[in-house]
Amino acid sequence: MSVVWTVARQLMAECVRMKVAVVFVLLLALLLLGLPFAVQKHGPLTDAVQSFLSYSLSATGLLLGILTVFLARSLADEMVNRQILVVMAKPVPRWQFILGKWVGMNVLNVVFLAFSALVIYGAVYYLRATHPPVDEELDRTRLAEEVLVARQAVQFRLPDFEAMAEREFQRRLEVGAYDDVMDFDAAKERQRLAKRVEAEWRVVGPYEVRVFQFENVLCDRRPESTLQIRYKTEVYNYAPDEVFRAVWWIGDPEQGTPVYECRTRHIVGRYHTVTVPADAVAPDYTLTVRFQNRNPFAGEPQFRNVIEFLSRDGVEVLFGVGTFEGNLLRLLVLMLCKLMFLSAVALLATTLFSFPVACLVAFTIYVLAGTRGFILESLDFASADQAGWFTSAKEFAVHLIRSVYSTVSVILPDFGYYDGVETLVNGRNVTLRWVLEGVVSVGFLRTGCLLGLAMLLFHRREVSEVSV
Amino acid sequence: MARRVLPVVQTAGLCKTFKDFWRRPRVEAVKNLDLEIRPGEVVGLLGPNGSGKTTTIKMLLGLLYPTRGRISLFGKAPTDVAVKSRIGFLPEESYLYRFLGAQETLDHFGRLFRLPTHVRRDRTERLLDMVGLRHQASRPVGEFSKGMARRIGLAQALINDPEFLILDEPTSGLDPIGSRQIKDLVRELGRKGKTILLSSHILADVEDVCNRVVILYGGLERAQGDISALLSQKDRMQLTTPVLTPETLAEVRRLLHEREQADVLHVSHPRDRLEAFFLRIVEEAQAASVGTSGARGGGVVPEFLKKATQADAQEVVESLIAAARQPLPAQVESRRERATGEPIESGREAARAVIDELLGVQPAPAAPEVDEPRLPVEPAPRPAEAPRAAPRADRKVIEELLGGTPPGEGEGPQKEEQP
Ligand SMILES: Nc1ncnc2c1ncn2[C@@H]1O[C@H](COP(=O)(O)OP(=O)(O)O)[C@@H](O)[C@H]1O
Ligand SMILES: [Mg+2]
């Protein structure tokens, strides 16, 4: 192990002495320091902090990704300048040499990541202190409650639409609604009814009330802490100047909790948040939320003023489960896992190719890992319900590309899936489970495979071989 | 050999063919080499550029894999990692990390040998002293001149107190002091029982320090054998005296003719060797403490290197050295003008021709010559190479350089080992 560390130290010394570290810090400063001032110009504090966080974290990830690939240059240089001949004449097992390089690269990654995180963290607090307030108190609470926090989300429990459909079905059966239907298919009718019941349930007509039930709202139930109801609605056929008003009652008097009433006016198609004290949650950690559409009848049938909750956007309850700092830390771990993988890619490519080619390969893989999930999804879509026989050249190509991608995906992690920046920026919890999954799948298994391969190739190679 | 010990290096039928990208054979760098180096030997690997010396060494170290043939290093395969802790290696160019300082470089390699901290510190200090770079210890090696880097390279090769030292053209790029120090060092280490393989195309280096040579040409071994046996001329003698008057000289000739029926072949004033002269000038400058940013002083072999590793190897080496060493300042020298000795292990005529060619020997002139100045430009003391008279222009420059030399001062004293 002492040899691994010696090699790692040498790489770090090189990075520092060759001014890589200094230049990195300067570049990062260039990327990050102007930003707080740039985002101050527009919008409320929360938006400014969110756009700053989102931009700076992505930029740091990109810059560190590039940097870690260039750090593999240490190995390439050593092979070109032949220091490797001296090192390999020492009692240094080759795998330890490669491992040492990798360790060195990733110690630097940790240091750089920590440095960037400190800068970003500092900048957020700077923004918070200096941002020209629109409404000071409101701005700050919003930031604290919706961004600088790690919140867990709970979706409402869907009513049992099938049971409801069954009841309706039985009722219709009794009144003889199906008596004169030809080729009556009960299963199909049940399905149709279930769909209809759900659609009806999601639509809230004028002055109608809808009840949402949440379970496992495992929040801190003291009245000082808060929780948020986040929702988005759709409305069909409304007059352009129509105002949509609604009332929320949050809490369940039957369980003895206070009930908080919130009157809202909202814009269709955008997310809105209602914040209430957390003691609205019942002792068994359930939460009852009632919603009433307060828009009057428009009188005309095409402007019914109904509010619709679409299934994928729904209504969710968000409550704090951790701090922003913890969240940031977990996000950094996820980012580090990617860098660990990338450094293994870079080392593997360097043992195989000359440095420029290795860079090209590593960057391509970087981009590929980022777009992999997306590409596979679109390929899935393109080749969906394929009957096995290729009816056209295009379908064949899609199949071919798909199989190539699925093969590559075995070793290529889905960077898109492990991208937690969006989650952090929205003040959502970067869950420990997710991070551990990333650590095991990206940082451990996939990195290990590539590193092992690099060691194997390097072990078999004649280090004095010259490739021109 | 008193008893058969495990050879340090043993190769059998070693071949290396470099192939191109398409796996087509390109260069046969080493062909069928059988090499054996026994503990305590100082072996010279001699050959012109591109004769496969470096390739052989790289195969010994497992940096290249042989195309055919076997190698054993201390009875192990060259890829065995543990064996490398007994080896010191100075490559043909000092491939060092440019951004590390001299001291850090030695420390780094010491760590690779897993040496404990105090040992590392101690050795680093001593080795820096030895190569005369103590005062440049913190400068990055990238700033060093080639020779200074070479010195660090050498120090690096000794950090683990190796049993077997491989030096690939150790004197290339070194100033005469440096190359002299290296030669002294090799001699010293050889005497202390270390096994050394020294590759070079500079004949004087090899001749001065090795007790056995292997001569490679075009990847083939052409000759190998004991240096003193290869080079000594048993049928001539050399007499060094104070300046004689013409009468005395005539008397000596007459006496010789009467007693031995022999003629004096050659009469001249012995010249200072350029090496000895140069060393003296530098020593004077150092005594007057003229500042330099280059290498300074050094040459003291650190104590830790002197430990004999094998007691019986020691004896063998002592005896080998005794046989090889020429007492240079002595009054009578056996005079060696051309290699008349047959190579011990290969008596082939072809081999002789190659050696002659390598050594640049012309047939000795039959007539006695008087006062032919011999000016080996390289620090090559032995008359073996002398008959190659330097070109006239060069000679003038050198004459000028040597202008202040008092004639007849005799050979510069060959630096004897420190007690
Ligand atoms: N890595 C290599 N690839 C191809 N040819 C090589 C390589 N290394 C050495 N050679 C060739 O092998 C021959 C011997 O080289 P080398 O052992 O370096 O000679 P030297 O005796 O000067 O050290 C030369 O012709 C050289 O061109
Ligand atoms: Mg060479």
pLDDT tens sequence across A308-338: 777 666 788 888 888 899 999 999 999 999 9
Residues B171 and B22 in one domain: yes
Contact B114 A90 (CB under 8 A): no
Residues A304 and A338 in one domain: no
- Of the CA atoms within 13 Å of residue A198, those in its CB half-sphere come to 15
Residues B203 and B334 in one domain: no
**Could you say which ligand is closest to the alpha carbon of residue B167?**
2
Taking any CB pair shorter than 8 Å as contact, residues of chain B touching chain A are 21, 58, 61-65, 81-85, 87, 89, 91, 93, 95-97, 99-100, 104, 108-109, 111-114, 140, 153, 156, 160
B46 Cβ inside 6 Å of ligand 1: no
pLDDT of residue A386: 53
Chains A and B form CB pairs within 8 A to the count of 78
pLDDT of residue A389: 56
Residues A221 and A337 in one domain: no
Residues A260 and A347 in one domain: no
Residue B243 lies in a domain: no
Shortest CA distance to B9 belongs to which of B32, B47, B43?
A: B43
Contact B112 A91 (CB under 8 A): yes
Residues A310 and A261 in one domain: yes
pLDDT per residue of chain B (419 residues) written in tens, 0 to 9: 445 678 999 999 999 999 887 888 888 899 999 999 999 999 999 888 888 999 999 999 999 999 999 999 999 999 899 999 999 999 988 899 999 999 999 999 999 999 999 999 999 999 999 888 899 899 999 999 888 899 899 999 999 999 999 999 988 888 888 888 888 888 888 888 899 999 988 777 788 788 888 888 888 888 788 877 766 666 777 777 888 888 888 888 888 888 888 777 777 776 666 667 667 776 777 777 666 666 666 667 777 776 544 444 444 444 444 544 444 333 333 333 333 333 334 434 544 554 455 444 444 444 444 443 344 344 434 443 333 333 444 444 444 444 443 333 333 344 333 43
Kindly report the nearest CA distance between residue A448 and chain B, in angstroms: 23
Residues A329 and A304 in one domain: no
Contact A13 B99 (CB under 8 A): yes
**Could you say which ligand is closest to the alpha carbon of residue B19?**
1
B200 Cβ inside 6 Å of ligand 1: no
pLDDT of residue B233: 67
Domain of A303: which CATH number? 2.60.120
For A95, which residue in chain B has the nearest alpha carbon? B81
Residues A110 and A54 in one domain: yes
Contact B112 A3 (CB under 8 A): yes
What is the count of structural domains for chain A? 3
Residue A317 makes CB contacts below 8 A (sequence gap 6+) with: A153, A154, A156, A214, A217, A227, A228, A229, A230, A287, A289
Contact B95 A17 (CB under 8 A): no
Which residue reads 């510069």 in tokens? B412
- Is the minimum CB–CB distance between A170 and chain B shorter than 8 Å? no
Residues B119 and B218 in one domain: yes
Q: Which letter, b or e, does each residue of B235-265 get, where b requires 16 or more Cβ atoms within 10 Å of its Cβ?
A: ebebeeeeeeeeeeeeeeeeeeeeeeeeeeb
Provide the 3-class DSSP secondary structure of residue B96. Answer: coil
Identify which of B55, B89, B216 to mutate to test ligand 1's pocket (most ligand atoms within 8 A of the CB): B55
Kindly report the nearest CA distance between residue A49 and chain B, in angstroms: 42
Kindly report the nearest CA distance between residue A83 and chain B, in angstroms: 5
Task: Answer with the one of A314, A344, A360 that is the final residue of a domain.
Answer: A314
B91 Cβ inside 6 Å of ligand 1: no
Residues B331 and B217 in one domain: no
The DSSP symbol for A154 reads E
Which of A2, A81, A93 minimises the CB distance to B95? A81
Contact A89 B85 (CB under 8 A): no
Shortest CA distance to A274 belongs to which of A250, A255, A252?
A: A250
| Residues constituting chain B | 419
Which of A17, A90, A467 minimises the CB distance to B112? A90
**Residues forming beta bridges with residue A248, ordered by sequence position:** A262, A291
Atom of ligand 1 nearest to the CA of B92: 23
pLDDT of residue B416: 39
Residues A263 and A375 in one domain: no
What is the count of structural domains for chain B? 2
CA of B44 to the centre of ligand 2 (A): 13
Per-residue pLDDT for A214 more than 80? Answer: yes
> What does the pLDDT look like over A261-283, one tens digit per residue?
888 887 777 788 888 888 888 88
Residues B315 and B224 in one domain: no
* Amino acid occupying residue B255: L
CA dihedral (A24, A25, A26, A31) in degrees, to 10, reads 90
Atom of ligand 1 nearest to the CA of B58: 17
Kindly report the nearest CA distance between residue B147 and chain A, in angstroms: 17
Residues A182 and A230 in one domain: no
Identify the residue among B21, B63, B150 best suited for mutation to test binding to A, counting A beta carbons within 10 A and taking the highest: B63
Task: Answer with the one of B178, B208, B231 that is the final residue of a domain.
Answer: B231
Question: Which tokens in the block code for residue A32?
Answer: 């990050």
Structural contact between residues B213 and B225, judged by C-beta atoms closer than 8 angstroms: yes
Residues A247 and A163 in one domain: no
Domain of B141: which CATH number? 3.40.50.300
Residues A396 and A355 in one domain: yes
Task: Answer with the one of B231, B255, B285 that is the final residue of a domain.
Answer: B231
Q: Whose CA is nearest to atom 7 of ligand 1?
A: B18
> What does the pLDDT look like over A253-263, one tens digit per residue?
888 888 888 88
Rounded alpha-carbon distances, angstroms, from residue A405 to A181, A364, A372, A379: 50, 14, 8, 9
Per-residue pLDDT for A385 more than 80? Answer: no
Per-residue pLDDT for A347 more than 50? Answer: yes
- Is the minimum CB–CB distance between A83 and chain B shorter than 8 Å? yes
Which of A83, A89, A464 minimises the CB distance to B97? A83
Task: Answer with the one of B213, B231, B249 that is the final residue of a domain.
Answer: B231
Q: Whose CA is nearest to atom 9 of ligand 1?
A: B55
Which of A10, A91, A467 minimises the CB distance to B84? A91
Shortest CA distance to B16 belongs to which of B62, B48, B47?
A: B62
CA dist A456 and A351 (Å) reads: 10
Residue B418 lies in a domain: no
- Is the minimum CB–CB distance between A13 and chain B shorter than 8 Å? yes
Provide the 3-class DSSP secondary structure of residue B291. Answer: coil
B38 Cβ inside 6 Å of ligand 1: no
Q: Which chain B residues have a beta carbon less than 8 Å from that of A18?
A: 99
Which of B81, B95, B108 minimises the CB distance to A91? B81
Residues A129 and A212 in one domain: no
Pairing of strands A315-323, A226-231: antiparallel
Ranking A108-117, A416-425, A447-456, B100-109 by mean pLDDT, the lowest is A416-425
B55 Cβ inside 6 Å of ligand 1: yes
Ranking A226-240, A430-444, B173-187, B370-384 by mean pLDDT, the lowest is B370-384
Residues B148 and B30 in one domain: yes
What does pTM read for this prediction? 0.78
Q: Which chain A residues have a beta carbon less than 8 Å from that of B109?
A: 86, 90
| Secondary structure E strands in B38-111 | 42-46, 68-73, 87-90
B47 Cβ inside 6 Å of ligand 1: yes
Per-residue pLDDT for A293 more than 50? Answer: yes
**Residues forming beta bridges with residue B243, ordered by sequence position:** none
Contact B61 A463 (CB under 8 A): no
Residue B388 lies in a domain: no
Residue B189 lies in a domain: yes
Kindly report the nearest CA distance between residue A313 and chain B, in angstroms: 57
Task: Answer with the one of A166, A181, A202 that is the final residue of a domain.
Answer: A202
Which of A17, A85, A93 minimises the CB distance to B91? A85
Residue B303 lies in a domain: no
Per-residue pLDDT for A222 more than 70? Answer: yes
Identify the residue among B61, B94, B97 best suited for mutation to test binding to A, counting A beta carbons within 10 A and taking the highest: B97
Contact A85 B104 (CB under 8 A): no
Q: Which chain A residues have a beta carbon less than 8 Å from that of B65?
A: 462
Residue B284 lies in a domain: no
Expressed as residue numbers, the domain containing B84 is 9-231
Residue A151 lies in a domain: no
B294 Cβ inside 6 Å of ligand 1: no
Residues B60 and B185 in one domain: yes
Residues B86 and B196 in one domain: yes
CA dihedral (A10, A15, A16, A17) in degrees, to 10, reads 80
Residues B42 and B189 in one domain: yes
Q: Which chain A residues have a beta carbon less than 8 Å from that of B96?
A: 83, 86
Q: What is the ipTM of this complex?
A: 0.79
Q: Which chain A residues have a beta carbon less than 8 Å from that of B81?
A: 91-93
Residues A284 and A171 in one domain: no
Atom of ligand 1 nearest to the CA of B64: 1
CA A427 and chain centroid, separation: 11
Residue A147 lies in a domain: no
Identify the residue among B30, B99, B112, B113 best suited for mutation to test binding to A, counting A beta carbons within 10 A and taking the highest: B112
Question: Which tokens in the block code for residue B186?
Answer: 């090799």
CA of B47 to the centre of ligand 2 (A): 9
Expressed as residue numbers, the domain containing A165 is 157-202
Task: Answer with the one of A169, A184, A202 that is the final residue of a domain.
Answer: A202
